Amino acid sequence: MGDIRRLGVIINGATGRMGTTQHMAHLLAIAAEGGLPLANGDRLIPELMLVGRDAGRLAALAAQHGNPSWTTSLEEALAGPDQVFMDCAATGDRPRRVRQAIAAGKHIHIEKPTAPTVEEAMELARLAERAGVKHGVIQDKLFLPGYAKLLAASRSGFFGRILSVRIDAGSWIFDGSEQECQRPSWNYKKAQGGGLALDMMAHWRYMIDRLVAPVTGVCALMSTAIPERVDEAGQRYTVDAEDTNYALLKMRGGAVGMINNSWAARPRRDDTMVVQIDGTGGSAVAGRFRCYTQSAAETPEAFIKAARPGGVDLMADWKEVPEQPGKPPFRQCWELFLRHVAEDAPYLPTLVEGAKAVQLADLAYRSVAEQRWMTVPELKL
Ligand SMILES: NC(=O)c1ccc[n+]([C@@H]2O[C@H](COP(=O)([O-])OP(=O)(O)OC[C@H]3O[C@@H](n4cnc5c(N)ncnc54)[C@H](O)[C@@H]3O)[C@@H](O)[C@H]2O)c1
């Protein structure tokens, strides 16, 4: 029998959606199962310190989850012995909080986007590296069953030479006047870290880099479809961040990417987030849960048939990739990071990877401002 080891994790933003439903939930589940088994037979039990701004909500949240410690003072939490800092509070001002945590010697595991600009994101990566702490960003999407299958298809060489990747993502986000808005109002305020491109390029970058090839160029077009919204308190406010982002991408090796991402569109497809890869050897289309493939040998004639009355059933000649058992995505992110801290296991999405994601958003904004293609330079520590 190995030893029981305890690891204190500060969850800043515990009362938020991600804080409660993902980070707390999965760490508590690991603890409830008796800890994460490590290679040497020890078990690692995460112990939570919840941080937020509202004492009443924190106390209620703690009471519902076995009474972990909590505080409304980030300074107090950082002065304590807990070793890991997770920031899943609203995006705005994240770099300041991360700098504080690095200065306090904590290992850093944070939500995306890590910073509003690539310069700040790289500064955080360098600070963490220099301080000798472990660091990582949440990159959960490739652990979703549909995209995990897509990644497996890509790694197996199924696509042959990849020609293009197309991302269709988004759904209608109500403006809050008639029907409750499904996203926090800070998402629509630049100063608080809002903006669809900053939010979602953070995912598209690592997904495309790993599913296809590293992104080398971007040309974007953005807009604000709904200029006025109603916030959580029922107050009208002016939106100053984009809610729609179109982007063309170039990838190393010559593949082309297309991103069509909007919070003001009504999808008629399998999922609100669909990724299609076309290659000489075959194509695949994946949502969060399902993935369908069509190989070159199974590709039907559609051009001539589609022009006849009755058309053609374009959905018919696709094969669904069978289910693979897997743990929930955020659980996988945490297990990998906990192993990284506890036994120095590798962790791919460091703050440098986090900065690459911010870089794509940053360059997309500059592309819009300057109305031109932007080259994506390599980032180095
Ligand atoms: N990995 C993913 O797939 C994913 C999905 C959604 C959100 N996120 C990220 O997680 C973070 C939180 O998003 P959410 O949807 O849970 O938001 P949320 O608004 O539900 O939660 C944010 C929390 O931060 C608190 N907060 C707001 N302003 C703050 C401030 N100035 N200082 C400190 N705390 C503040 C709020 O009270 C709330 O508890 C964001 O950075 C977002 O980009 C990631």
> For the chain, which residues make up each domain, given as ranges?
4-140+329-349, 141-327+359-370
Query: What pTM value is reported for the model?
Result: 0.96
The CA R_g of the chain, rounded to the nearest whole Å, is: 22
Question: Going along the chain, which residue ranges are E strands?
Answer: 4-12, 36-37, 43-51, 69-71, 84-87, 107-110, 135-137, 162-170, 215-223, 228-230, 236-238, 244-251, 256-262, 273-279, 282-286, 291-295, 319-320, 374-375
Whether the per-residue pLDDT at 1 is higher than 90: the answer is no
In short, whether 93's Cβ falls inside 6 Å of ligand 1 is yes
Show Cβ contacts of residue 59 under 8 Å, excluding neighbours closer than 6 positions.
70
CB of 202 closer than 6 angstroms to any ligand 1 atom: no
Q: Are 252 and 161 in contact (CB under 8 A)?
A: no
267 lines ligand 1 (CB under 6 A): no
Name which residue sits closest to atom 39 of ligand 1, judged by CA.
16
Give Cα 324 to chain centroid, integer Å. 21
In a mutational test of the pocket of ligand 1, which residue from 15, 17, 24 has the highest number of ligand atoms less than 8 Å from its CB? 17
Confidence of residue 327 (pLDDT cuts 50, 70, 90): very high
Structure tokens at 135: 């660091």
Averaged pLDDT for residues 319-329? 95
259 pLDDT higher than 80: yes
pLDDT for residue 309: 93
Atom of ligand 1 nearest to the CA of 139: 1
Distance in Å, CA 113 to ligand 1 centroid: 11
For the chain, give the mean pLDDT.
Answer: 97
Whether the CB of 236 sits within 6 Å of ligand 1: no
Q: Provide the pLDDT for residue 261.
A: 98
pLDDT per position as a tens digit, 342-381: 999 999 999 999 999 999 999 999 999 999 999 999 999 9
Q: Is 16 in the pocket of ligand 1 (CB under 6 A)?
A: yes
What value does the mean pLDDT take over residues 39-43? 97
Ligand 1 atom with the shortest distance to the CA of 140 = 1
Q: State which CATH number among 2.40.128.20, 2.60.15.10, 3.30.360.10, 1.10.287.370 fits the domain covering 141-327+359-370.
A: 3.30.360.10
In this prediction, residue 324 carries a pLDDT of 86
Is 89 touching ligand 1 by the criterion CB < 6 Å?
yes
338 ligand 1 Cβ < 6 A: no
Ligand 1 atom 7: residue of nearest CA: 18
Beta carbon of 139 within 6 Å of any ligand 1 atom: no
Rounded alpha-carbon distances, angstroms, from residue 155 to 211, 257, 373, 378: 8, 18, 29, 23
Confirm or reject: Cβ of 13 under 6 Å from ligand 1.
yes
CATH superfamily to which 4-140+329-349 belongs: NAD(P)-binding Rossmann-like Domain (3.40.50.720)
